[in-house]
A = this chain, B = another copy of it.
Amino acid sequence: MAGRIEVGILGATGMVGQQFISQLRNHPWFTLTWLAASERSEGRKYVEAAPWRLEASPPDGLGSRLVQAAVPGRGPRLVFSALDAGVAGEIEEAFAAAGHLVVSNARNHRLDATVPLLVPEVNADHLALAASQRAAKGWGGAIVTNPNCSTVVLSMALAPLRPFGLRSCIVTTMQAVSGAGYPGVPSFDILGNAIPFISGEEEKIEIETRKILGTLAGGRVEMHAVAVSAHTNRVPVLDGHTETVSVALGQPIEAADLRAAFEAFRGAPQELGLPSAPPHPIVYLDQPNRPQPRFDAMRDGGMTVSVGRLRPCPVLGWKFVTLGHNTIRGAAGAAVLNAELIVSRGWMD
Contact = CB atoms under 8 A, between A and B. Distances in A.
A174 interface: yes
Nearest to A51: B287
A260 interface: no
Interface string A179-197: 0001111111111111111
Interface residues on A, range: 35 or more
B292 A194 contact: yes
B236 A172 contact: no
Contact of A233 (B192, B228, B244): B244
Nearest to A236: B236
Given A168-B315, A192-B237, A197 B309 contact: yes
Contacts of A308: 196
Contact of A315 (B170, B188, B193, B194): B170
A191 B185 CA distance: 11
Q: What 9 pairs across the A-B complex have the smallest Cβ distances? A: A231-B244, A172-B172, A183-B186, A197-B289, A193-B294, A229-B315, A187-B187, A196-B321, A192-B192
A53 interface: yes
A184 B182 contact: no
Contacts of A196: 242, 244, 289-292, 308-309, 321
Interface of A: 53, 55, 168-170, 172, 174, 177-178, 182-197, 206, 227-229, 231, 233, 235-238, 242, 244, 246, 248, 288-295, 308-309, 313-316, 319, 321
A189 B191 contact: no
Contacts of A55: 294-295
